[in-house]
Structure 1
Amino acid sequence: MTEPKRPNKSPRRRAREFAVQALYQSMMNQNTPLGDIANHLREHTDFKNADKELFNRLFLGASHNQSDYMQQIVPHLDRDEKMINPIERAILLMATHELNAMLETPHAVIINEAIEVTKTFGGTDSHKFINGILDKLAAQLRPAKQPESEA
């Protein structure tokens, strides 16, 4: 029997996955410049299939605004901020940046993409945690109904 083929990931999904990896690396290696982390991913991974512009916007935007975004996230947590694992934190930062700064992307798409990235990198039920936080953040940050389109 052959295994069913998994659909190829879109360049935007890959960019989000690389952004999460870069954010994670920056948390684990706080003395490493962001440019070095980004360059390492660009040179040593399957980065050619990613949306490079989206990666740069997500990684650099989430990195530079990390403390502001955590202030937005913390009120919605059901645990102490220190108890969030680094992967969940990276995904929340990435999605919070996208909710704040990329109004062209519908909030439902941002949440769905964050859930899918969490299923790739996070723990078994992490996607439920991420979904709950992002639903609350989206209601706060984007109270007006948006058209639902693909991004």
Structure 2
Amino acid sequence: MSGERSRAPSKAQQSRHAARELAVQGLYQWQMTGKSITAVEAEFRSQVADEDLEDHENWHKVMEIADLALFHELLHNVADQRRELDAAIAPLLDRRLEDLDPIELAILRLGAYELSRRLEVPYRAVINEGVELAKSFGATDGHKYVNGILDKLASRLRSAEVSARRR
């Protein structure tokens, strides 16, 4: 026995995670289709009622538990601030922004937004969420890349918090 206890996530944590899952999927759709972010959000919300949707039951469950206010905030603010977020991410990359896997770009933008604007969320939580999202939606080993970039970004954007944690 390692002495560590595994805690189940609280309902609030599950709700925020579901909101981030939806936001990443929405950002991906927005990046790939060029539709307005408002149209993407409307499509996501309308899919709950679409019983013909292949994954209707899962979709309905996620939408039911998701913090929809957080989903809205993340989706719209990441889209609105993408240039600033991209400017923060780009210097940390080993390739051009355009060459990133689109889902990894969506996750990095979301992480950059939370690190720079949602200061009440601990930087480790932002990184962990990014890693989990990359494991769920990204390419094989994409989570390692996301982890490295978000860790570097946290050191730049939240240096005092990172330094205090590493002592």
3-state SS, counterpart of residue 140 of structure 2: coil
3-state SS, counterpart of residue 43 of structure 2: helix
1:86 to 90, 102, 109: 102
Q: Quick one: distance in 2 between partners of 1:114 and 1:58?
A: 13
- Residue number in structure 1 paired with 2:20: 16
3-state SS, counterpart of residue 161 of structure 2: coil
Q: Quick one: distance in 1 between partners of 2:71 and 2:81?
A: 15
1:60 to 76, 83, 94: 76
Q: Structure 1 or 2: larger helix share?
A: 2
- Residue number in structure 1 paired with 2:38: 35
3-state SS, counterpart of residue 144 of structure 1: helix
Count of residue pairs brought into register by the alignment: 141
Kindly state the Cα deviation for residue 43 of structure 1 after the two structures are TM-superposed: 2.2
- Residue number in structure 2 paired with 1:3: none
> 5+ residue gaps in structure 1?
1-6
- Residue number in structure 1 paired with 2:89: 73
Aligned residue type for 1:69: L
| Larger gyration radius, structure 1 or structure 2 | 2
Alignment of 1:109 onto 2:112: no
Q: TM-score, normalised by structure 2?
A: 0.79
- Residue number in structure 1 paired with 2:113: 97
Q: Quick one: distance in 1 between partners of 2:115 and 2:44?
A: 24
Q: Give the share of equivalent positions with the same residue, in percent.
A: 39
Q: Quick one: distance in 1 between partners of 2:29 and 2:98?
A: 17
Q: TM-score, normalised by structure 1?
A: 0.87
Aligned residue type for 2:154: A
Report the RMSD for the aligned CA atoms in angstroms: 1.7
> 5+ residue gaps in structure 2?
1-7, 48-58
Q: Quick one: distance in 2 between partners of 1:69 and 1:38?
A: 20
Q: Quick one: distance in 1 between partners of 2:94 and 2:112?
A: 17
Kindly state the Cα deviation for residue 40 of structure 1 after the two structures are TM-superposed: 1.2
Kindly state the Cα deviation for residue 41 of structure 1 after the two structures are TM-superposed: 1.0
Kindly state the Cα deviation for residue 80 of structure 1 after the two structures are TM-superposed: 2.0
